[in-house]
Amino acid sequence: MSSQPRKIAAQLVHRVLDQGESLGSLLGPRLASLEDPRQRALAQELTFGTLRWSYRLEALLAQLLQKPLKKKDRDLHALLLVGLYQLLMLEIPAHAAVSETVEVVRQLGKNWAAGMVNGVLRNAQRQSSALSKAVEGDAAARWSHPDWWIERLQQDWPENWQQILEAGNQRPPMVLRVNRLQVERESYLQQLRAAGIEALALPFPDSAIRLVEPVGVDSLPGFRQGLVSVQDGAAQLCASLLDLQPGQRVLDACAAPGGKTGHILELAPQLEHLLAIDVDERRLQKIRENLQRLQLDASLLAVDAGDPQSWWDGKPFDRILLDAPCSASGVVRRHPDIKLLRRPADVCSLAQQQQRLLAALWPLLAPGGMLLYVSCSVFVEENSDNLQVFLDRHADASELPLQAEWGKVMPVGCQLLPGEYGMDGFYFACLIKT
Ligand code: SAM
C-alpha cells in the first residue's frame, strides 16, 4: 500500500518536531519495516524532504489552516507537512498525493479529519503561487532555516550566506572512499560499471567516487569485504592533512563511528600505534564493526578525551586528530533534522567544549608534532575564532597554514563551504607544537 511510506514519514517528522528526537536513531528501524525497496526510498525521500523544507512548509500551512491543530493532533500536523511537500515540491501527481495522505488519516483512526486534510491539500494545490507569494518576505520560509541560523550566517559569511543556505537545502550525493590497500580507484570504478552503478571519480581527493544515484551499501561490490566506505569528499581530506609517516604514534580523539580512523589506517598501515577514543561506548562499537569490515586494527577506548589523566599512558603522540563534536551546521543537507533540533545557545556551549578538548589534548602532543582540528560546522565561533582563542592561550602552539588549493583561508585555518566541489562544509586547522 503506498499510504505506508507516507504514514512512516509523517510519524518520523512528528517525532523530530514534537519530541525533539534525532532522525539518525529513528530512521533505520522504521524503514526496515517496509519490504519493497521503492517504498523505503519513498518514505526516506518524504521524511528528509519534509524536514529539509519544514520551515517553508510550516509557513505555507499556517496560511491554509484557520487555526493551529490541537496538541493531541500534532500527528495530523506532521502528516499535512508531508502532504504539502509531495504536492508543492515533488512531482507526485496531485490525486495520488492527496488520496494516499487522506488514507493515512483513516489509518490513524481520525476519520473526522479526512475532509479537513483533503480540503487543505486541495486548497494548497489550487493556490500554490499565491501561497508562495504570501510567505516571500519571511526569511525562515524563504531559506527554510531558523531565523537565528540565517542571522548567524549573515554575520559570519556576509558574502556567502545565501550560497550556504541554498547548499544546505540540496539533496546530498553519495560519495565513496576506495580502500587503496585493497583496490585502486580506477579498478573499483570498473567494478561499479559492471554492477550497473553509474559513478564518477571526484577531482580530489584521489580516493573519492561520487555515485550518480545513491544505492544501498549491499549493492556495492565488495562493500562487506572492505573495498569501500561511504564518506563525503570533505571528510576524506582530513587523513591526508595529517602527513602520516611509518612509525608514528597517532591519536584519533572523538573517533566514532570511525570513518577517519579507517582512512588513517588505509593511508598509513605502518604506524607504530593508532589509538581511537570516543566517549560514547555504543558509538565506539561502530568503530569496531567498521574496522573489522575494512580488515584493519586500532586500539579503542571508550573515554573522555577531555580527561586524559584517566587513560593516557604518558607516551606522547606525533599526530592528534580532533574531529570535534560540533553543531554540524556544515552537513545539514545530510541531516536536515539538525535545523529543528539545534538551539542558538548550543553553539556557544559547543565552542566551550571544543576549547576544553583542545586544551586537554595539547599536552599529549610530542614537540614538533601536529594536531589537526576539524569540524563539520560553518560557524566561526566553533572554528577560526575558537582556534584563535586557543593560540592566544598557548605560546607553544603555532598554526601550520594549509597548502590546499580548495577552501577559504580564515584568520586561523581554512573553511570548505557546503556545496563547494559538491562537498560537505568542513573546517580544518593544523597546529604545530613548537
Ligand atoms: N571522527 C568521526 C568519524 O570520522 O567517523 C566523527 C566524530 S563526530 C564529529 C564527534 C564524536 O565526538 C562523536 O562520536 C562523539 O561521541 C564524540 N565525543 C563527544 N564528546 C567527546 C569527549 N569528551 N571525548 C571523546 N569523544 C567525544
Q: How many CB atoms lie within 10 A of CB 25?
A: 8
Going by C-alpha positions, the residue among 336, 179, 204, 183 that lies closest to residue 259 is: 179
Residue with cell 521503492: 38
Atom of ligand 1 nearest to the CA of 283: 14
pLDDT in tens, the chain (434 residues): 578 999 999 999 999 999 999 998 899 889 999 999 899 999 999 999 999 999 999 999 999 999 999 999 999 999 999 999 999 999 889 999 999 999 999 999 999 999 999 999 999 999 999 999 999 999 999 999 999 999 999 999 999 999 999 999 999 999 999 999 999 999 999 999 999 999 999 999 999 999 999 999 999 999 999 999 999 999 999 999 999 999 999 999 999 999 999 999 999 999 999 999 999 999 999 999 999 999 999 999 999 999 999 999 999 999 999 999 999 999 999 999 999 999 999 999 999 999 999 999 999 999 999 999 999 999 999 999 999 999 999 999 999 999 888 999 999 999 999 999 999 999 999 999 99
> Helix 54-64 to helix 37-52 angle, to the nearest 10 degrees?
80
Tell whether ligand 1 has an atom less than 6 A from the beta carbon of residue 258.
Answer: yes
Ligand 1 within 6 A of CB of 304: yes
Cα 217 to averaged position of ligand 1 atoms, centre (Å):
23
User: Of all helices (H) and strands (E), which one includes residue 40?
Assistant: helix 37-52
For the question of residue 238 being annotated catalytic, the response is: no
SS3 state of residue 79: helix
Bridge partners (DSSP) of residue 414 are 409, 428
With a 6 A CB cut-off, is 259 part of the ligand 1 pocket? yes
Spatial distance between the Cα atoms of 298 and 221, rounded to a whole number of angstroms: 25
DSSP 199-237: EEE-SSSTTEEEESS---GGGSTTTTTTSEEE--TTTHH
Could you tell me the three cell numbers for 283? 558509538
CA 380, CA 330: separation in Å to the nearest integer? 11
Query: Which three cell numbers mark 219?
Result: 549493492
| Rounded CA separation 78/19 (Å) | 12
Catalytic residue among 238, 254, 376, 414: 376
Cell of residue 220, nine digits: 556495492
Whole-number Cα distances in Å, 195 to 158, 190, 198, 213:
45, 9, 9, 13
Is residue 283 lining ligand 1, measured as CB closer than 6 Å? yes
Which of 251, 254, 304, 327 is the best mutation target for the ligand 1 pocket, counting ligand atoms within 8 Å of the beta carbon and taking the most? 254
Instruction: Show the cell assigned to 299.
Output: 586500539
- Scored b (16 or more CB within 10 A) or e, 189-226 reads bebbeeeebebeebebbebbbbbeeebeeeebbebeeb
Cβ 424 under 6 angstroms from ligand 1: no
DSSP 398-429: EE-----SSSEE-SSSEEEPTTGGGPPPEEEE
- pTM, two decimals, is 0.96
Residue 365 backbone dihedrals phi, psi, to 5 degrees = -85, 135
- Distance between Cα 256 and ligand 1 center (Å): 6
Beta bridge partners of 320: 251, 371
Q: Which three cell numbers stand for residue 394?
A: 598557548
Q: With CA atoms as reference, report the closest residue to 268 among 299, 294, 245.
A: 245
In angstroms, what is the span from residue 174 Cα to ligand 1's centroid?
A: 22
Determine which residue's CA is closest to atom 11 belonging to ligand 1: 254
- Whole-number Å distance, alpha carbon 323 to ligand 1 midpoint, is 7
CA distance 283 to 298: 15
Closest residue CA from atom 17 of ligand 1: 254
323 CB near ligand 1 (under 6 Å): yes
Q: Which SS3 state, helix, strand or coil, does residue 265 take?
A: helix
Take atom 21 of ligand 1 and give the residue whose Cα is closest.
Answer: 279
Name residue 357's amino acid: L
- For ligand 1, whether the C-beta of 382 sits within 6 Å is no
Please give the distance of CA 239 from its chain centroid, rounded to a whole number.
Answer: 18
Give residue 49's identity as a one-letter amino acid code: G
The SS3 assignment for 318 reads strand
The CA-CA-CA angle for residues 212, 216, 217, to 5°, reads 100
Ligand 1 neighbour 335 (Cβ under 6 A): no
